[in-house]
Amino acid sequence: MKALVLDDSMNLQIKECEKPIVKPNEVLIKVKASAINHRELWIQQGLYPGLTLPCILGADGSGIVAKVGEDVDTDWLNEDIIIYPGYDWGENEEYPSRAFRVLGMPDPGTMAEYITVPVKNIVKKPKYLSWAEASAIPVASLTAWRALTRHGKIKPGDNILITGIGGGVAQAGLALALAFKANVYVTSSSKKKIAFAKTLGAIDGVNYKDEDWNVQLKEMSKGIDIVLDSSPSSILDDYFKFMNYGGRIVTYGSTGSRKTTINISKFFLRHIQFIGTAMGSPNEFKALIAFLEDHKIKPLIHEQFYFESGLEAFDALRKGTQIGKIVLVH
C-alpha cells in the first residue's frame, strides 16, 4: 500500500509499504481521509519527544472498516468510522498514563491506504459529516473539547479568549464555545482572520503583535473568564490586564514561545489558574462526537489535497495562512 512516510533521514515521501495485518481485537481501516496537525511539522523539525523513524505520519483519520480481527463484533464490518487518535490513555479521566501516545509516530499513522487500530479506537461517523470533515475532527476538536469543558468549565455567558484563531484547535474551540453560548474574542496576526472569525460568531478580536493588545482586549471584553491558548505570551502578566478573578488560562501549545515569565503575586491574588492540557480521553472523544452531532457542528476545512499531493499539503500548513484544517483525501 502507499503511505506518507518520514524516513530515517527526515525526508518526507510517499512510498510503498506493507499493508498491516489485523490482529485480535483490531480492525483494518481503509482510510478515506486524513488531516494534518502542527504535530507533524514538529516531528519533521525533530522537535517532538521520542522521535522514532521511519514512520507513517498522521493522527487524524476517517474510513471504512475493511476487516475485523478475532474477537471483534462483525457488525463493525463496512461501518463508516472516525479514529480516536491515541493509545493507552489509561483509566484516569483527569490525565493520561505515561504510556499515552498519539497515532503517527512512533505507531504507524493515518496517512496511508490502510491502518489497523484496536476496535476500542473507533467511533461511528455521524452521517452529516463528509469523509474530509470527519477526518478533520479528532486531534483539534478533542483538544479544544477537553480544554473548554474539563479544564475551562465553560458555561453560557462566559467570556472566552481564543488565541491564534487561524489554528485548527482554535477554530474547533470557536465552534464549540459558540455552541455553549459563550462570548468569544480572538487574537490573530491577520486582520482577515479576525474579520472571518467575526462572520462565524466571534464578537471581536485583536492583533497579538500590537504592543497594547491586552489593553485593547480588556476594553472590548470588559474581562475574560477562560483563555484557550495555543501560544502563551512570553510574559504571562500580559494576561492579568484582562483576566477576571478566578479565570482559567488553558494552554495546549507553544507555537510562539516555549518560555514565559509570571508575576506570581498578581497570579495568586486573582485566583487565576494556569492549566496544561493535551488531547483527551476515549470517553471525552465519544462525548465530543455526540455533542458535535447534536449541534450539527462541522469542522472548518481550509483546503483539501489528494493524498498523492501530500507533500504540497504540508507546504500549505508551513505557510501558516490557513484558517482551519488541511485535509488529504485518499
Ligand X SMILES: NC(=O)c1ccc[n+]([C@@H]2O[C@H](COP(=O)([O-])OP(=O)(O)OC[C@H]3O[C@@H](n4cnc5c(N)ncnc54)[C@H](OP(=O)(O)O)[C@@H]3O)[C@@H](O)[C@H]2O)c1
- Helical (H) or strand (E) element with 303: strand 301-306
Nearer to ligand X, 127 or 258 (CB): 258
Nearer to ligand X, 85 or 126 (CB): 85
Shortest CB 190 distance to ligand X, Å: 5
What is the rounded distance in angstroms from the CA atom of residue 78 to the CA atom of residue 73?
12
Nearer to ligand X, 216 or 322 (CB): 322
**The pairing of beta strand 183-188 with beta strand 301-306:** unpaired
- Residue 211, classified by CB atoms within 10 Å of its CB into exposed (0-12), middle (13-18) or buried (19+), is exposed
Shortest CB 227 distance to ligand X, Å: 11
Beta-carbon-side half-sphere exposure of residue 25 (alpha carbons within 13 Å): 3
Phi/psi for 89 (5° steps) reads: -60, -40
Cell, residue 86: 491515541
Nearer to ligand X, 42 or 76 (CB): 42
Nearer to ligand X, 31 or 139 (CB): 139
Q: How many helices (H) and strands (E) does the chain have?
A: 10, 18
Shortest CB 203 distance to ligand X, Å: 16
Shortest CB 18 distance to ligand X, Å: 29
Nearer to ligand X, 62 or 143 (CB): 143
Contacts of 245 by beta carbon, 8 Å cutoff, 6+ apart: 270, 271, 272
What secondary structure, in 3-state letters, does 199-210 show? HHCCCEEEECCC
DSSP secondary structure string for all residues of 7-24:
-TTS-EEEEE-PPPPPPT
Nearer to ligand X, 114 or 252 (CB): 252
Shortest CB 301 distance to ligand X, Å: 12
Shortest CB 112 distance to ligand X, Å: 20
Nearer to ligand X, 10 or 195 (CB): 195
Shortest CB 223 distance to ligand X, Å: 20
In contact, 26 and 119? CB cutoff 8 Å: yes
Q: Please tell me whether residue 113 adopts helix, strand or coil conformation.
A: coil
Shortest CB 228 distance to ligand X, Å: 10
Q: Which spans of this chain sit near ligand X (rule: CB under 6 A)?
A: 37-39, 42, 139-140, 143, 163-170, 188-190, 193, 208, 230-231, 252-256, 278-279, 320, 322
Q: Which residues of 3-28 are buried (b: 16+ CB within 10 A; e: fewer)?
A: bbbbeeeeebebeebeebebeeebbb
Contacts of 61 by beta carbon, 8 Å cutoff, 6+ apart: 29, 31, 33, 34, 35, 82, 83, 85, 103, 109, 110, 111, 115, 135, 138
Nearer to ligand X, 104 or 253 (CB): 253
What is the rounded distance in angstroms from the CA atom of residue 70 to the CA atom of residue 25?
6
Shortest CB 94 distance to ligand X, Å: 15
